[in-house]
Structure 1
Amino acid sequence: MTSAVDRLLADESGRLPRADARRNAERLVKAARIAVAEVGVGVSAHEIARRAGVGVGTFYRRIPSLQALLGTVLDEILVEILDLADRALDDPDPWNGLRVFAVAYVRLRAESCGVGEALGGAGGDALTVRLASLRDRIRRLVERAQSAGVMRADLAWQDVPFLFAAAATGERTLDLQADDQQWERNLGVILDGLRPV
């Protein structure tokens, strides 16, 4: 797969960018990924440039647009999630595959504002194909576990993404502060609830 940097630097001429241009683009992609995790998809070009240690002018010389950068970064993250789902589908144990995927998926949701927003549709039409592919893989993971008798059969596969999203809770509720492992405990209860009675 072509890297995020290569996709952003691609032009019609086929010329390779100068080494310093590539380094700046790499810094911007890395900074954008961190900023999306911490701030979400509402992060500004100025904030990304500041985090990358470049001027905003360099940002716009190296990157087609803020939307292109954010779309590319979110697409790259969704591809990583799809790879996790594919590995889970390859696991000979359907429950273990679903469980391992759930842990990785919910961890990403809990640790990245932008991932949660993208999975909720904030990435717009650019992510439609990736989201459809992810829905298909989650459906297959659920149906596979149900067919093996290791997951409750009375749940629709569509319930599972909502349950996983619920595990990645916010930082506060009822004036209580969640700790770093709150999502793991939430997910453990959810996974227990998915098992047959």
Structure 2
Amino acid sequence: MTSAVQRLLDSDSGHRPRADAQRNVERLVAAAREAIADDGVTVTAHEIARRAGLGIGTFYRRLASREALLEAVLADLVDELVAAAAAGLADPDPWAGFAGFAERFAELRALSCGVNEALGGDHGLDLDPQLARLRDQLRSLVERGQRDGVLRADVEWADVAFVLGGVVTGDHTIGLPAADQQWRRNLRIVLDGLRPGHER
């Protein structure tokens, strides 16, 4: 059971839900994650229920609101990035740890427009605790890399957040189509630029 499902079940009147109710919540969470990836945080409750194969009445019997579901799902997605950063900090190789986090960060943004919106902050949802943890972990990753001399020293940790955020682009620019998984090519260039030897 994901933490999103658990949070939603815990908020439901304080009693243990029936097995079918729990399955319906799990279906709604899975559908919401898919819909958020495709459509972003503007996805409607009707669309989530449709993707889950459930009626809108079931949606509102099981969940307090569309916003509560979106917050739970997006909190889980941001927590995935927090976990990736923690894994990077645990890696004995500081560059490999940082680069592994950077790849997961860019990949999740590329796969989900909802994650892009969540990280951008313009969504009206309460994700502050998760975003604060992510900022702390990113700062630790950058500062560790700088202390160990594998990441250029003239870059502020907050700059790295913006640079990594810029790895995922649109499908076209100046009339050029993006390559398949363009973000991976962009990420390689960004990571090369963050290595020592490019200081100004």
Q: CA deviation at 1:125?
A: 5.7
User: What TM-score results when the alignment is normalised by the length of structure 2?
Assistant: 0.93
Q: CA deviation at 1:13?
A: 5.2
Whole-angstrom distance in 2 between the partners of 1:123 and 1:85: 23
Q: Is the 8 A contact 1:28 1:48 kept in 2?
A: yes
- Could you tell me which amino acid in structure 1 is paired with residue 29 of structure 2? V
Q: CA deviation at 1:123?
A: 4.5
Q: CA deviation at 1:12?
A: 6.9
Q: CA deviation at 1:10?
A: 2.2
Q: CA deviation at 1:130?
A: 1.1
User: Which consecutive unaligned segments of at least 5 residues does structure 1 have?
Assistant: none
Residues 42 and 12 (structure 1), Cα distance of their counterparts in 2 relative to 1, 3 Å cut: closer
1:120 aligns with 2:128: no
Q: CA deviation at 1:188?
A: 0.3
Whole-angstrom distance in 2 between the partners of 1:2 and 1:58: 20
Whole-angstrom distance in 1 between the partners of 2:25 and 2:155: 45
Q: Give runs of aligned pairs for residues 149-188 of structure 1, distance below 5 A.
A: 149-188=149-188
2:88 equivalent in structure 1: 88
1:189 aligns with 2:200: no
- Could you tell me which amino acid in structure 2 is paired with residue 79 of structure 1? D
Q: CA deviation at 1:11?
A: 4.4
Q: Is the 8 A contact 2:32 2:69 kept in 1?
A: yes
Whole-angstrom distance in 2 between the partners of 1:11 and 1:184: 39
Q: Is the 8 A contact 1:90 1:97 kept in 2?
A: yes
Residues 68 and 87 (structure 1), Cα distance of their counterparts in 2 relative to 1, 3 Å cut: same
1:23 equivalent in structure 2: 23
2:109 equivalent in structure 1: 109
The size of the alignment, in residue pairs, is: 197
Q: CA deviation at 1:107?
A: 0.3
1:138 equivalent in structure 2: 138
RMSD of aligned C-alpha atoms? 1.5
Whole-angstrom distance in 2 between the partners of 1:8 and 1:153: 43
* Matched residue SS, 1:40: helix
User: What TM-score results when the alignment is normalised by the length of structure 1?
Assistant: 0.95
Identity %: 58
User: Which consecutive unaligned segments of at least 5 residues does structure 2 have?
Assistant: none
Whole-angstrom distance in 2 between the partners of 1:121 and 1:66: 18
Whole-angstrom distance in 2 between the partners of 1:173 and 1:12: 46
